[in-house]
Structure 1
Amino acid sequence: MAFIKHYFLLLVIFSLSLNVYGKLSTNFYSSTCPNVLNIIKEGVDEAIKKETRVGGSILRLHFHDCFVNGCDGSILLDNTSTFQSEKTAAPNNNSARGFEAVDLIKAKVEKACPGIVSCADILAIIARDAVVYYGGPTWKVRLGRRDSLKANRSAANAFLPGPSFDLNNLTTNFANVGLSFRDLIVLSGAHTIGVARCATYRAHIYNDNNIDPAFAKSLQQTCPRNTGNNNTLQPLDYQTNFRFDEKYYQNLIAKKGLLHSDQVLYNGNQRADYDVKKYANDQCKFFKAFAKSMVRMGNIKPLTGTDGEIRLNCRKPN
């Protein structure tokens, strides 16, 4: 009887361990690397002080990582003899940046806690810290992700949202990774910081009707219709480019969204228009919703347990 009770207890413990296995936790490194959050925050602060726009870049890296096979750090991998990097996929090529900042932060973390903290987790943390640096909301980042062993360039080409997407494309794109229509509206608010290249907004300022004519004309001065200037930069939020706030949504209502994929969020769809107006008029609601959506996005198919690895260098598998 004692043996049976003991065996039953082991089964219960094993069952409970299965229930928690694979889940992310806000205190994952509390004993193995207790100072990791402070180390990363200091690194993010240093990086943005050195280059003001890099915070928007590293926030975008987390997005583009999670939308391709889940939040696994794959976007950070360089080319190898066995796979092509996601960095050269069409949505990332000449666009994704901030890799050097990630390298410096990873090096500091490795010095303090060798082989403990994944690159995927670092991306999740620096995304939060960048938002906070620019005056945005904070949230508790769930940790415990592990790093992929390879990149997937074809998936990056297929699944990353593009600047020419319409609302249906965007809705499907977000649904494919388990995110809702409201997550789409909320997470697009990340464009309250950052810049975009002429090549990404050219079609919007010349071909679309849902744009303020004077705004379009001003952008056309430095982004010609057919020739050159592809790399000319414009702020995604022309009002407060380096401030995380609700102005992005106010821009959409004024038909001054920089990208086609921005402005389609306020273009006659009742659900989308309602949420855009709500967040344009209430920064607190936007901040609260953004924090929740970032947690959901960060939980897209993470590698945990014994899957993947903890990369020592974010640019290459061990």
Structure 2
Amino acid sequence: MSNIPNEQTRWVLAERPVAEPTDATFRKETVPIPHSLADDEVLVRVDITSLEAAMRGWLTDFRSYRAPVQIGEVMRSAGVGEVVKGGKTLKVGDLVSGGFGWQEYAVVKESAVQKVDIPPGGSPIDEFGATGTNGLAAYFGITTVGQLKPGETLVVSGAAGATGSFAAAIGKIKGAGKVVGIAGGPDKVKFLKEEVGVDLAYDYKSADWKEKFIEEVGLVDVFFDNVGGEILDFVLSRIRRFARIVESGAISTYNTSEPYGIKNYPQLTKFSATLQGYIFLDYASEFPAAKKELAQWAAEGKLPRKFHIVDGVDALPKALGDIFSGANTGKTVVRVSKEALRFN
């Protein structure tokens, strides 16, 4: 107990944002750390927290696949940490993952966390890599929802992000004839070409990218969309017969009360195409087999390992905002504890 401080920093939801989260959206609090636990609880020092675009949806009081974060509640997030006060089965020093939220220490039930086994040469940060939520979202989006077939043309928007980069890489593994990435900025285009291995990559901030796309890509069989809005509308104008549009996300719409209106949806009827949204949790029963395959591909160097690493509990709100401004490439994680600074 002597190494456990008496107080910790945490971030709670202060008010619901109308558009982009602002300085007023979250409130930093200093609160006591509980030292008395129930028999089925453990105290975890939060080392690493995962951030993702889906968090914006959790801030809105609107019907969705999970309840919104409530005003005054610790901001929700997945994390990896070390048990500092053990329970019945978990011991001090065990590395665990769970929904710890934006705080330095979390009291959780033993049944709500999972032990994390790090292979030699690995890092706890890899818990949020290929076999984490983004890898699984990409896996089921490409293989099950998109039903990508060898030789087909796959286009991925938000391709330099955590889910998009995995989706593009899985497309290559599954034998796509052409994998095309759309991202924002020359550095992200370079990452897609050199580290992910796409065949073509386009900077949507470039004035002539659509003309180049039409000339070089042609028509699209599968579109793995993370962005929505104008990019989705454009790609709908380029679909082939029986195309599959996989709606993994719509980050361009998350911070606006008036999303871009899609105009080219009649193309779905004209070309007998499908547009399907999904949540990776829909396929929870298939996680073990998917994780095994993803881990194998990662070990073979076929999946990118790209993390946007930010340090310190104070950096959490800005790090979330950076996802929406496009400041990140790859998966955003925050090293919350000083002990986590050794993890890369």
Q: TM-score category by the smaller chain?
A: under 0.3
Going by fraction, where is helix more abundant, 1 or 2?
1
TM-score, normalised relative to structure 1: 0.25
